[in-house]
Chain A
Amino acid sequence: MASIEIANARKSYGAVDVLHGIDLDISDGEFIVLVGPSGCGKSTLLRMIAGLEDITSGDISIAGNVVNDLQPKDRDIAMVFQSYALYPHMSVAENMSYALTLRKTAKEKIADAITNVADILGLSALLERRPKALSGGQRQRVAMGRAIVRKPQAFLFDEPLSNLDARLREQMRTEIRKLHRRLGATSVYVTHDQIEAMTMADRIVAMHDGIIQQVGSPVEIYDHPANIFVASFIGSPAMNFLEGTYETKDDNGADGAGIRLSDGSLVAVLPARGATNNQAVTLGARPEHITIAPDANSGLAARIDLIEPMGLSTLVHATLAGKPIKIFTMDRPDYAVDSTIHVSFDMEKVHVFDTKSELRLPPVIEPHPGHRD
């Protein structure tokens, strides 16, 4: 097991800069998830750690040693590919033992390791099969097994679950987490699925356009997104954004603050650090932080567009100040489409973003969790 340090790593293909100075320290035994939209450079970063892609500038160290010029085979890392990349002309057992055989590990030791790992992954009955005689889920397990038997310094995963159906993906998610707890191996896991990121990560690294946007625990990232990109990317259903102008009587907000929406209505917010009167800001509210008022006397008017029952909860689509919003509720509302409801925002939970820089303007005084009026 080992730590991985990435210092100012850059990657360009000719004139195209794909990664712009990545800094990231991954501690020993940590499960890091790189998440971001397609083309943001996640795979490229992972492949640079693996040694499959040259580093244009900067340093990558594994266990304290700079590995920039080491071949993949000398980095002692294992990788699980999205395509699984199983050797088609080898049996499951041969696939899993390939790396050990190359290292001239004793035959008995290899056999032991294979039996052991096959046991953990439920592959014991399939050891003599060729990959083409396996189902997608089984192939995925073999790919995992091939990585595990080696006991490498670190595991790298590039969207390993994206070819599985939803149920299997959910199951493998938990299994990978359990395996990680059992093996304690440093892991870097690439995905564009924010649910995988939320459920699996010790720390999430949110990337966009080759730049790290935010690093933090899933809850930190969810509750305190650094900017509009992170706020919109993490969380499903996604956060609602409403543009408006910031209003306050004095700059430290002693008299309270609010955001004036385009239709003239005012949403009360906690005074935001650095926000000035009339500044263009964006209100960010997660669907669960908007509540539907019981009567028409309070809150802002919104028009119902669609009611989406999701079993456990219901998602209400509505239009507020000309913008579509989504409201999450555990009730079972039965509003008619086009009817008017009144909604209110949880003042302590909503976010204020500077519209221009897209950065979050945190509250002057962070609300204490649990404290409510």
Chain B
Amino acid sequence: MTLTGHTSTRKMLYWGSHYLMIAAFVIFALFPLYWLLKVSVTPNDILYTEGVRMWPSRTTWDNYTFVLTQSNFPHYFMNSVIVAGTTAAVTTVIAALTGYAFSRFAFRGKVIIVALMLITQMFPLVMLIAPIFKILAPLGLTDSLTGLIIVYTAFNVPFATFLMQSFFDGIPKDLEEAAMIDGNTRFEAFRAIILPLTLPGVAATLGFVFTAAWSELLFALMLVSSESASTFPVGLLSFVSKFSVDFGQMMAAGVLALIPACLFFLLIQRYLVQGLTAGAVKG
């Protein structure tokens, strides 16, 4: 009896501290988001007068209405959707093909290519802005969404490739060999057998690249000068100058900007958590 009592206390202690730590982490991670939400619904007149409170005494949607109807924000927002969406799609296609090649083929120069791709990830982006501007300007790609898409794609392909490669590495080679013997070419086998099994990987890559492009500020700020090609992070900055740091509106815009990212992850989370390959080979 004493023994079981002893172990169950220990067990409770173990799980208790386990959940406590998870809870602490979740609170730590989500608190800024909560604050964002809180400020966005706080009326301007009591923002500074009420002091630090967990929830304002009055709430309002005014900030949202203003951002949606009176500002350029919807336009920035659309630009960001186009840039992040296209970047995610193009990068993932390239990364899937390259990752597959890295995973399955031995070819001359493979090591060099991998090394080069790693090297591109080593430099702080600030160093690269001037040369990239110099390259893009004569091509008419500064101040354009296309230019941004190209730059984002270029910067995301290496990591996305390694990510996809690790997913392909997890799928047994036997599967596409069986398909090739069954009558597929290698590319058909890739499309019909391997790709469906890599959907979790594709989803993860899409999600990663999308969020990276969605929140990118540096290039968006440096390569684009016109309002018409600005993305939403740049737009957020413009709140600072235009409205002399109108926190309420800025936070409202921030909350709105979270929506597509949330939607996106809601759509792909099914694939992110799925272990589709279970049962492919001996279990």
Contacts and interface: CB of A to CB of B under 8 A. Distances in A.
Interface string B172-189: 101101111111110000
Contact of B280 (A78, A131, A136): A131
Contacts of B280: 83, 85-88, 131-132
B134 interface: no
Given A73-B183, A79-B181, A98-B182, A85 B175 contact: yes
Given A71-B185, A73-B180, A98-B183, 12 more contacts: A52-B177, A73-B184, A79-B181, A85-B281, A86-B281, A87-B178, A87-B179, A88-B197, A98-B182, A99-B183, A131-B279, A132-B278
A136 B282 contact: yes
Contacts of B279: 86, 88, 130-134, 139
A312 to B, nearest CB: 32
Interface string A68-96: 00011101011101011111110000000
Given A71-B185, A87-B193, A52 B180 contact: yes
Nearest first, the 10 closest Cβ-Cβ pairs linking A and B are A132-B279, A85-B174, A102-B183, A83-B281, A99-B182, A85-B178, A88-B280, A72-B180, A131-B279, A73-B183
B277 interface: yes
A198 interface: no
Interface of A: 50-52, 71-73, 75, 77-79, 81, 83-89, 98-99, 102-103, 130-134, 136, 139, 146, 150, 163
A98 B174 CA distance: 15
Contacts of A136: 282-283
A86 to B, nearest CB: 7
B183 A83 contact: no
Contacts of A73: 180-185
Given A83-B172, A136-B283, A88 B278 contact: yes
B170 interface: no
B276 interface: yes
Interface residues of B, number: 23
Nearest to A86: B280
A246 B280 CA distance: 57
Contacts of A78: 181
Contacts of A83: 172, 174, 280-282
A52 B182 CA distance: 12
Nearest to B279: A132
A163 B282 contact: yes
B184 A81 contact: no
18 contacts: A52-B177, A52-B181, A72-B181, A73-B185, A75-B181, A78-B181, A79-B177, A84-B282, A85-B281, A86-B281, A87-B193, A87-B280, A88-B276, A89-B196, A89-B276, A99-B183, A133-B279, A150-B182
Among A87, A131, A139, max chain B CB count under 10 A is at A87
A163 B196 CA distance: 26
B15 to A, nearest CB: 31
Most buried by B among A71, A133, A163: A71
A83 B281 CA distance: 5
A353 B185 CA distance: 50
Interface string B15-37: 00000000000000000000000
Contacts of A75: 181
